[in-house]
């Protein structure tokens, strides 16, 4: 039973292990394997995840989000607040962490105000906002962090590439929220949590240091030497809570992608596909193997990082497996609303495919 629970919770990690193991028969382990790994990406991911865990332990994001939600006065403005909060969270703390933090808030707000019937729709919009909101910053989505580091993309150029689709995503999500009626609502329950200001200041300083590492202002080894021991002393629970399966997934996909890149037939095939269409190939690949492995794999076969960046970010919407964040949303909804999974899946697919078509068409016509 423990093994089944582990496999269920870490399906992407298990798939990555299988992919790495199978390709190891094609390219047995050798000294060249050491060149597969992007240590800076792994270090940056660890640092940001660790600091976010510490901030979550003092309920920093919950307190901030709940205060914002209390300012809303209707169902429509509540939905807008939840979507924008998730947008902001995905830009700062990564998309999967934003959903883990803010989906329960959406459930709480809709439940206590008597609007459970809108739960699936709002969850889906939060999921899309997490996937598309994270595209704006290098640390917002794991695939961004990897591509930003691998191609050493200048920060200004990165923002110029991702800002237009980000603004389009904001506009589309806003329109989807405006579909909801402005039904009045009230949240009468009090929130007893008090923010520990000293710890919040410390953790925000560590977060700023981690972001400085991401933007190459500081070497990653210095970030590890500072952040890790400080968190170990200040919050003994933060480091164990880091999403180590996500880090392991990156390591295994590095092996998988590195091995495939050394198989001549695979190299010629994928290079040819990306030369044919550098946008549609990663978008389609995300629907089958998710956006993070797509970014790691295809980065070995193209230098067109602009199209690849757009493809793996836009491709995060669509099917349920196109992004780890989508699987998190589906699992959370089934847990909170048992028996409604089928209805959620149908609505999820309909809304996400609509976003995928519009975003892909816009990228093809205006953003490349």
Q: In a 3-state reduction of DSSP, which class is residue 278?
A: coil
For residues 142 and 250, the answer to whether their CB atoms sit within 8 Å is yes
Please report the pLDDT score of residue 239 as a whole number: 92
What CA–CA distances, in Å, run from 308 to 4, 19, 37, 321, 335? 35, 22, 19, 19, 34
- Residue 71 dihedral angles phi and psi, to the nearest 5°: -80, -15
The answer to whether the CB of 250 falls within 8 A of the CB of 141 is no
For 190, the token pair is 């009090």
Q: What is the pLDDT of residue 257?
A: 79
Whether 159 shows a pLDDT value over 80: the answer reads yes
pLDDT for 4 beyond 80: no
pLDDT at residue 190, rounded to an integer:
58
**Per-residue pLDDT at 233:** 93
The owner of tokens 């099917």 is 319
Q: Beta partners for 184?
A: 74
Q: What does pLDDT average to over the chain?
A: 86
Contacts with 192 (C-beta within 8 Å, 6 or more apart), sequence order: none
For residue 188, pLDDT over 60 is answered with no
| Average pLDDT estimate for 295-320 | 93
The answer to whether 200 touches 58, Cβ cutoff 8 Å, is yes
In angstroms, the CA 282 to CA 81 distance is 31
- Band of the pLDDT at 253, cuts 50, 70, 90? confident
Give the C-alpha distances (Å, rounded to integers) separating 247 from 52, 184, 273, 324, 330: 15, 44, 29, 13, 22
The pLDDT of residue 249: 80
Task: Please tell me the predicted confidence (pLDDT) of residue 304.
Answer: 95
Instruction: Kindly state the average pLDDT of the residues 211-217.
Output: 81
Taking residues 339-357, report their average pLDDT. 92
Q: Please, which pLDDT band fits residue 44 given cuts at 50, 70 and 90?
A: confident
**CA pair distance 88, 104, nearest whole angstrom:** 16
Q: Do 167 and 55 touch, CB atoms closer than 8 A? A: no
């Amino acid at each position: 039973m423990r093994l089944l629970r582990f496999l269920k919770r870490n399906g992407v990690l298990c798939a990555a292990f299988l992919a790495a193991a199978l390709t190891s028969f094609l390219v047995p382990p050798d000294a060249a394997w050491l060149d597969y790994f992007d240590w800076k990406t792994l270090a940056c991911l660890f640092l940001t995840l660790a600091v976010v865990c510490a901030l979550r332990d003092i309920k920093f994001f919950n307190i901030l989000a709940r205060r914002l939600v209390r300012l809303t006065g209707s169902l429509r403005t509540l939905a807008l607040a939840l979507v924008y909060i998730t947008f902001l969270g995905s830009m700062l703390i990564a998309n999967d962490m934003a959903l883990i933090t803010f989906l329960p808030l959406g459930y709480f707000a809709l439940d206590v105000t008597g609007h459970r019937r809108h739960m699936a729709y709002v969850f889906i919009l939060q999921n899309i906002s997490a996937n598309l909101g994270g595209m704006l910053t290098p640390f917002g989505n794991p695939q961004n962090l990897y591509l930003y580091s691998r191609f050493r993309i200048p920060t200004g150029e990165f923002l110029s590439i991702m800002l237009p689709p980000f603004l389009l995503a904001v506009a589309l999500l806003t329109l989807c929220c405006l579909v909801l009626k402005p039904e009045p609502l009230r949240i009468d329950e009090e929130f007893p949590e008090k923010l520990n200001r000293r710890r919040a200041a410390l953790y925000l300083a560590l977060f700023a240091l981690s972001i400085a590492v991401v933007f190459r202002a500081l070497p990653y080894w210095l970030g590890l030497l500072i952040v890790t021991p400080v968190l170990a002393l200040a919050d003994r629970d933060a480091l164990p809570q880091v999403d180590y399966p996500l880090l392991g997934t990156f390591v295994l996909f590095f092996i998988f992608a590195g091995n495939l890149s050394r198989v001549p037939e695979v190299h010629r095939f994928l290079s040819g596909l990306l030369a044919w269409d550098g946008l549609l190939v990663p978008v389609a690949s995300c629907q089958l193997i998710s956006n993070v492995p797509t970014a790691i794999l295809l980065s070995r076969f193209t230098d067109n990082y602009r199209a690849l960046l757009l493809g793996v970010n836009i491709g995060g919407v669509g099917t349920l497996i196109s992004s780890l964040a989508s699987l998190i949303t589906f699992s959370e909804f089934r847990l909170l609303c048992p028996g409604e999974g089928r209805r959620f899946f149908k609505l999820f697919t309909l809304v996400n495919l609509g976003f995928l078509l519009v975003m892909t068409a816009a990228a093809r016509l205006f953003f490349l």
